[in-house]
A and B are shown apart, each in its own frame.
Chain A
Amino acid sequence: GAVVSQHPSRVICKSGTSVKIECRSLDFQATTMFWYRQFPKQSLMLMATSNEGSKATYEQGVEKDKFLINHASLTLSTLTVTSAHPEDSSFYICSAEPPGGAGDTQYFGPGTRLTVL
C-alpha cells in the first residue's frame, strides 16, 4: 500500500522554540494532506487541510499563526509549531490523499511525538 512518512518521529524542545514536522508521501502524489493532533486517550482532531500550492484551511479553534502549514510540493507538507509551549505537547499525525480519492483513501503517517519542556 501507499506509504506516508513523518520526520522526526520524536522531538523534545525548549519552550519558545519552533519545531518543524515533515510529512511525505513516498510513492504517490498527494494534492491534499491533512494534519491531526491527538491528546492521550483522545481522538484524532483535524487541525487543518493542506492543498498543494494554496493556503491551508484551518479548523475552528486552531491558531493559524501558531501552526504554520506549507504544502509546497505534491509529496511534502510541513507543520511548524512556532514559539512552542508545554501545552503544545502532543502527538501530531498527517495523512495524504491521492488525486481523486475519497475519505477512505487517506494514507496516514506514523505520527510525531512533540514534547515541549
Chain B
Amino acid sequence: GDSVTQMEGPVTLSEEAFLTINCTYTATGYPSLFWYVQYPGEGLQLLLKATEADDKGSNKGFEATYRKETTSFHLEKGSVQVSDSAVYFCALTRGGSNYKLTFGKGTLLTVNP
C-alpha cells in the first residue's frame, strides 16, 4: 500500500539556519504530494503541494520538489524563523473518489532565537 517516510525529529535549529526535512514515498501511479504544518494548538494547514513530477511547490519561503526518480519530496527553507516552530507532515494522495491522504509521522521543528 501507499506509505510516506519522513525524517525523525525533533529538529532544533537556530534562527536563520537552513532547514531540510526529508520525505520519501511509496505509491503506485502518480500521486500528488503535500506538506502540512501544525502550529501549537492549531489544526493541520496545507503548506505547499506538487501534483506532477518535477513540480516545485513553494509557500512562505518553504520549497519542495517532486522527484519521481528518487520518490522524494524534501522540504527546504533557506532561513528559518522562530515562528516556523511547528510539526511538519509530508503526505500523498492518489485521488479517487474521496482523495484519501496518507501521512508521514511528522517532524517537530524548534527554532531558537
Chain B interface category by residue count: 20 to 34
**Is the pair B44, A103 in contact by a Cβ cutoff of 8 Å?**
no
Stretch binding the partner chain, chosen from B11-19, B66-74, B92-100:
B92-100
A108 on the B face (CB < 8 A): yes
B46 on the A face (CB < 8 A): yes
**Is the pair B106, A43 in contact by a Cβ cutoff of 8 Å?**
yes
**Is the pair A103, B93 in contact by a Cβ cutoff of 8 Å?**
yes
Residues in B84-113 with C-beta less than 8 Å from chain A: 89, 93, 95, 98-106
Q: Which residues of chain B are within 8 angstroms of A97 by Cβ–Cβ distance?
A: 99
B4 on the A face (CB < 8 A): yes
Closest CB in chain B relative to A3 CB, distance in Å: 9
In the complex with contacts A103-B32, A104-B32, A104-B34, A46-B101 CB distance below 8 A: yes
A12 on the B face (CB < 8 A): no
In the complex with contacts A108-B45, A111-B43, A103-B101 CB distance below 8 A: yes
**Is the pair B93, A110 in contact by a Cβ cutoff of 8 Å?**
no
Cα A109 to Cα B41 in complex, Å, equals: 10
Cα A97 to Cα B93 in complex, Å, equals: 14
Chain A 19-50 interface mask (CB, 8 Å, partner B; 1/0): 00000000000001010000001111110010
Chain A 87-117 interface mask (CB, 8 Å, partner B; 1/0): 0000001010100011111111111000000
| Interface residue ranges, B against A (CB under 8 Å) | 4, 32, 34, 36, 38, 41-46, 49, 89, 93, 95, 98-106
Known: A57-B98, A102-B32. 18 other contacts (CB 8 A): A4-B43, A43-B104, A44-B44, A46-B100, A49-B98, A93-B44, A103-B32, A103-B34, A103-B99, A103-B100, A103-B101, A104-B46, A106-B99, A106-B101, A107-B43, A108-B36, A108-B43, A108-B45
